[in-house]
């Protein structure tokens, strides 16, 4: 399956769920960094109160969501950056946010980028992950995933033992229906999931 099939032929929630266990890597001048995706969120277009494209909002800041599935959407909030991939055909503003990875490649480089914050704090949040990658600008926004230093390995996937669907983080919209939709997907028991409690962490990190 290529990126186009992966990001355009299924519902955005299905895509977000399927990304768990796939490797996300970023090629830096100093080497490759990345790990396995353990937490994602789906944002499902103009009807989704929590999406940046709600009601058809469109501006230079969220243009990426409107591009064809497989296009990068790098969003800036304060001094932080988020890694999203647009889904569906061009003109349908849906996308998937990668919130957390279990670090595997370039751990020392990521540790340096995070100014020494290691362990679970290394990559257990969307902006932390981008910091670990050394991203400090929206440079790769609007690029196709295939034409960027980012790579998602669609050929291999580590199977999660159990996947949980939960409400999305930080969504404080007035509409409780959308604020509570179970559109966040996590590998149950993985220590890098952003809000996991110590006692919920499993020895095998939730992998089958």
Partner DNA sequence: TCGCGGATAGACT
Partner DNA sequence: GTCTATCCGCGAG
Q: In terms of CB distance, is 1 or 171 closer to DNA?
A: 171
CB of 156 to DNA, least distance (A): 25
CB of 159 to DNA, least distance (A): 26
CB of 37 to DNA, least distance (A): 14
CA-to-CA dists, residue 118 to 45, 74, 122, 133, 192, angstroms: 35, 24, 5, 13, 11
Q: In terms of CB distance, is 8 or 131 closer to DNA?
A: 131
CB of 183 to DNA, least distance (A): 11
Q: In terms of CB distance, is 156 or 197 closer to DNA?
A: 197
Does an H or E element contain 108, and which? helix 107-113
Q: In terms of CB distance, is 156 or 199 closer to DNA?
A: 199
Contact 208, 160 (CB under 8 A): yes
Q: In terms of CB distance, is 32 or 138 closer to DNA?
A: 138
Enumerate residues 6+ apart whose C-beta is below 8 A from 59.
Answer: none
Interface positions with DNA (CB under 7 A): 41, 43, 50-53, 57, 59-62, 65, 73, 75-80, 82, 84, 95, 97, 114, 117, 121, 125-129, 131, 138, 168-173, 194, 197-199
Return the number of other C-beta atoms located less than 10 Å from residue 177's C-beta.
8
Residue 107 CA, chain-centre distance (Å), reads 19
Helix, strand or coil for residue 18? helix
CB of 155 to DNA, least distance (A): 26
70: left (phi over 0), alpha (psi -120 to 50) or beta: left
Q: In terms of CB distance, is 155 or 198 closer to DNA?
A: 198
Could you say which DSSP state residue 206 is in?
A: T
CB of 82 to DNA, least distance (A): 5
Beta bridge partners of 166: 184
Report the C-alpha gap between 22 and 156 in whole angstroms. Answer: 6
């Amino acid at each position: 399956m290529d990126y186009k099939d992966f990001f355009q032929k299924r519902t955005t929630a299905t895509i977000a769920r399927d990304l768990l266990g796939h490797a996300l890597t970023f090629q830096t001048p100093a080497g490759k960094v990345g790990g396995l995706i353990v937490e994602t969120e789906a944002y499902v277009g103009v009807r989704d109160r929590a999406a940046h494209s709600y009601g058809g909002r469109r501006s230079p800041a969220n243009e990426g969501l409107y591009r064809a599935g497989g296009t990068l959407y790098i969003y800036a909030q304060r001094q932080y950056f988020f890694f999203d991939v647009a889904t569906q055909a061009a003109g349908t503003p849906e996308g998937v946010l990668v919130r957390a990875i279990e670090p595997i490649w370039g751990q020392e480089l990521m540790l340096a980028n995070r100014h020494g914050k290691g362990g679970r704090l290394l990559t257990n949040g969307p902006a932390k992950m981008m910091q670990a990658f050394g991203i400090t600008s929206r440079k790769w926004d609007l690029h196709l995933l295939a034409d960027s230093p980012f790579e998602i390995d669609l050929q291999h996937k580590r199977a999660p033992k159990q996947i949980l669907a939960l409400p999305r983080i930080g969504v404080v919209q007035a509409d409780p229906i959308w604020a509570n939709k179970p559109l966040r997907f996590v590998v149950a028991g993985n220590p890098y999931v952003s809000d996991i409690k110590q006692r919920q962490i499993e020895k095998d990190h939730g992998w089958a």
